[in-house]
Amino acid sequence: MADENVEVWSGGVNTWECDEMGHMNVRFWVAKAQEGLAGLAAQLGMPRAFAGDGEATVIVREQHIRFLREAKAGASLYMTGGVIEMGESDARLLLVIRHPTGEPAATFQLVVEHATTRDMRPFPWPVRIREKAQAFRAQVPAFAAARSVDLSPVTPTASLARADELGLTRIGLGVIGPAECDVFGRMRPEIFIGRVSDGVGRLFGETRPGPEATEGEPAARIGGAVLEYRVLHLAWPEPGDRVELRSGFAGCDARTRRVMHWMVDPETGAPWASAEAVVISFDLDKRKVVDISPEAQAAFMAKCAPGLAL
């Protein structure tokens, strides 16, 4: 496993990639990971995997993401990648976005499928790619392993009818534009998570809960952040396809809130994608995670939808 840390991307954080929390927004972490995926594909012998004239590509079916250290405007980052395991036409890949010191900032385990570019038909990995993959074998380090989500195989439950049944909050409604799609005319992976980020304020409200205030001290400025995601990509909207996002709470403790986000087709009710997020309250001045009060925990638990899952 000598080459498990092969560099697959390098760049930085732009001011316009940062949000109201003062750090790079989740959609841009995912967008950079997609560039890293293209870099890893090239290392495996697929330099045109994401080009319009390519015949084969790798389609992201699932993402497991952990955010370990924030990145602010002006920060430099680079990414390493490797192959955890490879099946007949699928694979689990590892991408680690790092600060210049080598310290991990975010990790991605991607379940991908080797498929034709036009009709997304899976077909086996060629022998030449399997042979190259041996040089990039990677084990999942502890900092990239699932911590608060279960990565076991799952049967998705998302649908518009089920969202109505559970009373999930509509946090997004719109249409996919051409600029949100890749060269194959399919929605890019970061668009789902970006639209969740845009709309989640409607679920949480204007203020985020924090710890009980200390007498005589000013109230802390509290924001929100995500520690971990599991994302399932179930179908790929194309330009002109409408999307609706429904979200709800699935659990709460002093440190974290568990939130489910579904992107569905408002015309057919079928799911485009679903995600489980582990969310925390974040002190914007001290730049650290804070616990919430028992009263706030009780309020979240009262909002939880029984049976809500991916």
Does 212 have pLDDT greater than 80?
A: no
CA angle (201 as vertex; 267, 260 as ends), nearest 5: 60
What would the two tokens of residue 116 be? 């034709």
pLDDT band at 221 (very low <50, low <70, confident <90, very high): confident
CB atoms closer than 10 angstroms to residue 228: 21
The model's pLDDT over 84-115, given as tens digits with 9 standing for 90+, comes to 999 999 999 999 999 999 999 999 999 999 99
Q: Cα separation of 300 and 224, whole Å?
A: 15
Does 239 have pLDDT greater than 80?
A: yes
Q: Cα separation of 307 and 300, whole Å?
A: 15
Choice among 90-94, 163-167, 211-215, 257-261 with the minimum mean pLDDT: 211-215
Does 123 have pLDDT greater than 50?
A: yes
Percent of the chain exceeding pLDDT 70 equals: 96
Nearest by Cα to 226 from 65, 117, 85, 86: 65
Q: What is the pLDDT of residue 157?
A: 97
The model's pLDDT over 273-290, given as tens digits with 9 standing for 90+, comes to 999 999 988 888 888 888
Q: What is the dihedral of CA 227, 233, 234, 239, to 10 degrees?
A: 130
What would the two tokens of residue 133 be? 């993959």
What would the two tokens of residue 23 be? 């750090």
Q: What is the pLDDT of residue 2?
A: 41
Q: Cα separation of 194 and 190, whole Å?
A: 6
Q: What is the pLDDT of residue 293?
A: 86
Q: What is the pLDDT of residue 288?
A: 83
Which domains does the chain possess? 1-145 (3.10.129.10), 156-310 (3.10.129.10)
Which residue is associated with the tokens 């002190």?
Answer: 283
Does 1 have pLDDT greater than 50?
A: no
